[in-house]
Amino acid sequence: MIVELLRKPKIINIGARNFHDSLIAQGADSVHVDWKPPAGGDQEMMKLLDKLDKL
């Protein structure tokens, strides 16, 4: 099945910068958001941050 788009897609890339770079290299319209998980992904630290957020 071939799908033809009426307009060029606009892409929002979150996190992996190299994925965004490869999209740009292919001529895609992409915006990169430099996002990382809170507390570097440390589960215990995230629990503490959640408690602080509820205060």
pLDDT by position in tens, the chain (length 55): 888 889 989 999 998 999 999 999 999 999 999 988 888 889 999 999 999 999 8
pLDDT given for residue 55 in this prediction: 87
First to last CA, the chain: 53
Residue 33: phi and psi, rounded to 5, are -115, 120
Burial category of 32 from C-beta neighbours within 10 Å (exposed 0-12, middle 13-18, buried 19 and up)? middle
pLDDT given for residue 3 in this prediction: 85
33: amino acid identity, one letter:
V
How far is Cα 27 from Cα 39, in angstroms, rounded to an integer?
Answer: 34
pLDDT given for residue 40 in this prediction: 85
Domain ranges within the chain, ordered by starting residue = 10-53
Taking the whole predicted model, whether its pTM rises above 0.85 is answered as no
Residue 45 and residue 39 in contact, taking contact as beta carbons nearer than 8 Å: yes
pLDDT given for residue 36 in this prediction: 84
